């Protein structure tokens, strides 16, 4: 019968009674269900396929004029086109909107009135 391998550092670790257990060693964070592991593996496979596709386009001998990076396209969309669903009017944004809309008009009216 083969001898059992020595325990790893994480298995041999025992928490001190004066110090709480670090999150990295908490079984609730690393002991996940098979479904969650399967979902993480699937996400990792999708990410790897997208990365491989981008690398193939980038290192192709005759590259296309524009190399489409899906992550960059999603980021640009979220940054420019999708701002209103998450915008919340607050007193600060209302004041800034009024200042930038009405402020220049008042400035030029005052400048032309004083210039007369």
Length reported for the chain = 116
E strand residue ranges, 1-116: none
Identify the segments of the chain with pLDDT beneath 50.
none
14-28 confidence digits (pLDDT tens): 777 787 777 777 766
- Tokens 């210039």 map to which residue? 115
* Rounded distance between C-alpha atoms, residue 75 and residue 72, angstroms: 5
> What confidence score (pLDDT) does residue 33 get?
81
Residues 6+ apart with CB under 8 A from 32: 40
The distance in angstroms from the start CA to the end CA of the chain is: 105
> What confidence score (pLDDT) does residue 10 get?
65
């Amino acid at each position: 019968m083969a001898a059992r391998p020595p325990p790893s550092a994480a298995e041999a670790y025992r928490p001190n009674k004066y110090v709480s257990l670090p999150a990295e060693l908490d079984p609730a964070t690393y002991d996940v269900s098979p479904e969650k592991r399967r979902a993480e593996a699937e996400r990792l496979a999708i990410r790897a396929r997208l990365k491989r596709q981008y690398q193939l386009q980038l290192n192709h001998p005759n590259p296309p004029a524009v190399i489409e990076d899906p992550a960059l396209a999603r980021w640009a969309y979220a940054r420019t086109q999708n701002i209103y669903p998450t915008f919340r009017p607050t007193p600060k944004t209302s004041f800034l909107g009024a200042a930038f809309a009405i402020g220049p008009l008042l400035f030029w009216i005052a400048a032309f009135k004083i210039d007369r």
